[in-house]
């Protein structure tokens, strides 16, 4: 009886455990393929990564993400201050 447990049952139990673990790992990997969501550095709203612009800021390699609306607002503010400074 002990022989049957060690030779037949134990390898089958080990195989089942490994099989279930590999299936869980495969499910976790498919979750990673979903679209990544990131926060805009200015407005703090969530956007898919394909809608954000990533920029590395500073010498220490910090990466910030910016949405299109915030970029446009910054551009408008820049244009307004440039027009005021130049007298236009």
Write the pLDDT tens digit of every residue in 20-35.
888 876 666 555 556 7
pTM passes above 0.85: no
- Looking at residue 20, what is its pLDDT? 86
Position with higher pLDDT, 21 vs 41: 41
Give the rounded percent of residues in the chain with a pLDDT score beyond 90.
40
User: So where are the chain's domains?
Assistant: 1-33, 35-88
- Looking at residue 23, what is its pLDDT? 80
Q: CA-to-CA distance for 69 and 80, rounded, in angstroms? A: 16
Lowest-pLDDT range of 14-18, 26-30, 34-38: 26-30
Return the closest-CA partner of residue 40 out of 10, 16, 15, 63.
63
Q: Which CATH architecture has domain 35-88?
A: 2-Layer Sandwich (3.30)
């Amino acid at each position: 009886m002990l022989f049957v447990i060690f030779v037949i049952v134990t390898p089958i139990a080990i195989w089942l455990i490994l099989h279930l673990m590999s299936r869980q790992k495969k499910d976790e990997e498919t979750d990673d393929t979903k679209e990544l969501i990131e926060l805009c550095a200015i407005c703090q709203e969530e956007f898919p990564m394909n809608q954000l612009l990533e920029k590395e800021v500073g010498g220490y390699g910090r990466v910030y993400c910016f949405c299109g609306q915030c970029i446009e607002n910054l551009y408008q503010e820049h244009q307004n201050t440039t027009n005021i400074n130049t007298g236009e």
